[in-house]
Structure 1
Amino acid sequence: MSRILIDADGCPVVDITIKVAKEFSIEVMILCDTSHFFERNGATTITVSKGADSVDFKLANMIEKGDIVVTQDYGLAAMCLAKNALVLNQNGMQYTNDNIDALLLARHTAKKIRNSGGRLKGNKKRTEDQNEAFEKALRGIIASRNI
């Protein structure tokens, strides 16, 4: 079975991921930069130097075909898809070759609005429903790999 790699900076589902991975005996790797500290039983932590996208590039270079990646970063998701990884966001949405272009365009558009002085609403407070949706999606991906 492949590994699960977590882009842990700002990731609210680290513990859920480790719990599910443990049930299926899947290796978990947490990647973060030096401004964060993650130490969890059942996972290996890889800490990289702080820098723009340093975690993203380290994770993208580690990816192997079939690995599962947890990230909320569309750019990283695109790099992982190019390496044939399965990629989930923290709410259980699976990034695919069919939806990544639209997501990247939305990110670009939002950045243009912010750069021109516009404001966008922030994220709402995380709910238990989002945690459940993530766990269900992760279990679904793992089950489909074990067929």
Structure 2
Amino acid sequence: MTIFVDADSCPVKSEIVEIASTYSIPVQFVASYDHHMREEITYASWKYVDAGKEAADLYIMNHADSGDVVITQDIGLASTLLLKGVYAMSPRGYLFHENDMQTALDMRFLHAKARRRGDYGKGPKPFEAEDRIRFVTELTKILSKFAGINR
């Protein structure tokens, strides 16, 4: 098992490393060269990809295997990974499920269509402490299941 992180805008990098190191699970952060960090987080490897819009997603899609965990906000990436048997999870701690994907993809399409018309909403809600707590709880639950530990 490996944890892949779509790292360009991930607010829970340190939590991922802390939890993964507890279970001795490798972490692979994937980011574009535009988001290169001067001080990289230890206990994780970093892969930098071209600045193209989907470069990080393509890298993750091509390297994640069944049983791996991917942390991403990208619904399209999550939907393709679920078909491969990959656990896909948002940085807010929500697991993506196949039966919810069509609705999520439809909503993404409708929002994109509205933006093209010039209708701009408020954007995503701010990342809050509850999101961080939910994320830590859910990632710990997934990893402890594979380690045979019930927490």
Verify same fold: TM over 0.5: yes
- Structure 1 unaligned blocks of 5 or more: none
Deviation at 1:49?
1.1
Matched position secondary structure for 2:66? coil
Report how many residues are paired.
Answer: 146
Displacement of 1:4 in angstroms is 0.3
1:27 is matched with which residue?
A: 26
Asked if the contact 2:2–2:25 (Cα under 8 Å) also holds between the matched residues in 1, the reply is yes
TM-score (norm 2): 0.93
Say whether residues 1:107 and 2:121 are aligned partners: no
- Which residue of structure 1 aligns with residue 3 of structure 2? 4
Structure-2 separation of matches of 1:25 and 1:99: 31
Structure 2 residues not aligned, in runs of 5+? none
Superposed, 1:21-60 pairs within 5 Å as: 21-38=20-37, 39-60=40-61
Shift of the alpha carbon at 1:141?
1.0
State TM-score, norm by structure 1: 0.95
Residue type at the aligned position of 1:52: K
Q: Percent identity at matched positions? A: 28
**Mean CA deviation greater in 36-45 or 68-77:** 36-45
Work out the CA distance in 1 between the residues paired with 2:86 and 2:146: 12
Q: Shift of the alpha carbon at 1:123?
A: 2.0
Alignment of 1:90-105 (within 5 A): 90-105=91-106
SS of the equivalent of 1:21 reads: helix
Matches within 5 A, 1:53-68: 53-68=54-69
Which string of whole-angstrom CA distances, capped at 9 and with x for unpartnered residues, describes residues 87-132 of structure 1? 1101111001111111111100100111111111112322111100
RMSD of Structure 2 on Structure 1 (CA): 1.0
